[in-house]
Chain A
């Protein structure tokens, strides 16, 4: 299985809602990532988990809260988002260490109203 899956595919939420994005992989990868991608822009790294521990947080606002409950799952909890947070949220995974391909999931298209 060389696939990263993400749910939901689309999400519309109000600014006072709490929601979660989910990501799953069964490739035995021990590094997992969240990226944010705005239209016509490259993916921007948000968080990196290595061996289920948060290793990189790219100064992301606290309204985004990542969680890695086990080596196959990665969640992104959302609370009190702003309309400018509307974007495609991509999950990726890879082996830990040098120069290994990051496999991307299909993304969750998030709209904040």
Chain B
């Protein structure tokens, strides 16, 4: 089955700095890679996703890059704000084999004002 590893497990940045979170996956058939943000006591919410036919996607301060050959993808947050503080999960799915998301272990991002 799929295995997703995520690094770092914790990340502390100063407000205004950039944050980068990296994930690797094992199943070369995976073709959908969402990123979820989960604030304390709340539900995971999708912030951005990328499909395997695209190398990069950007939405305002958030961008995701995908390297299929190396089987890794990354989340980039620019101009971080205190409200970006949360746990971020990457995930991978092979949607030709069912709607199963395999999550990475999570990154606790702390943005210091």
With A40-B106, A97-B95 given, is the CB distance from A45 to B44 under 8 Å? no
**Chain B min CB distance to A104 (Å):** 4
Give residues of chain A (65-113) contacting chain B, Cβ–Cβ below 8 Å.
90, 94, 96-107
Give residues of chain A (14-38) contacting chain B, Cβ–Cβ below 8 Å.
31, 33
With A31-B99, A43-B103 given, is the CB distance from A99 to B49 under 8 Å? yes
Task: Judge whether A90 and B44 touch: CB under 8 Å.
Answer: yes
**Chain A min CB distance to B87 (Å):** 8
Q: What residues on A are CB-neighbors of B98 within 8 Å?
A: 48, 50, 55-56
Task: Judge whether A42 and B103 touch: CB under 8 Å.
Answer: yes
With A90-B44, A99-B93 given, is the CB distance from A41 to B99 under 8 Å? no
With A40-B106, A104-B45 given, is the CB distance from A99 to B100 under 8 Å? no
Q: What residues on A are CB-neighbors of B36 within 8 Å?
A: 104
Does chain A have a CB within 8 A of B60?
Answer: no
Task: Judge whether A33 and B43 touch: CB under 8 Å.
Answer: no
Q: What residues on B are CB-neighbors of A96 within 8 Å?
A: 99
* A103→B31 CA distance, assembly (Å): 19
* A64→B75 CA distance, assembly (Å): 35
Task: Judge whether B99 and A107 touch: CB under 8 Å.
Answer: no
With A98-B31, A101-B46, A105-B43 given, is the CB distance from A33 to B99 under 8 Å? yes
* A44→B104 CA distance, assembly (Å): 10
- Further pairs besides A41-B106, A43-B101, A45-B101: 10, Cβ < 8 Å: A40-B106, A43-B44, A48-B100, A50-B99, A96-B99, A98-B95, A99-B51, A102-B34, A102-B46, A107-B43
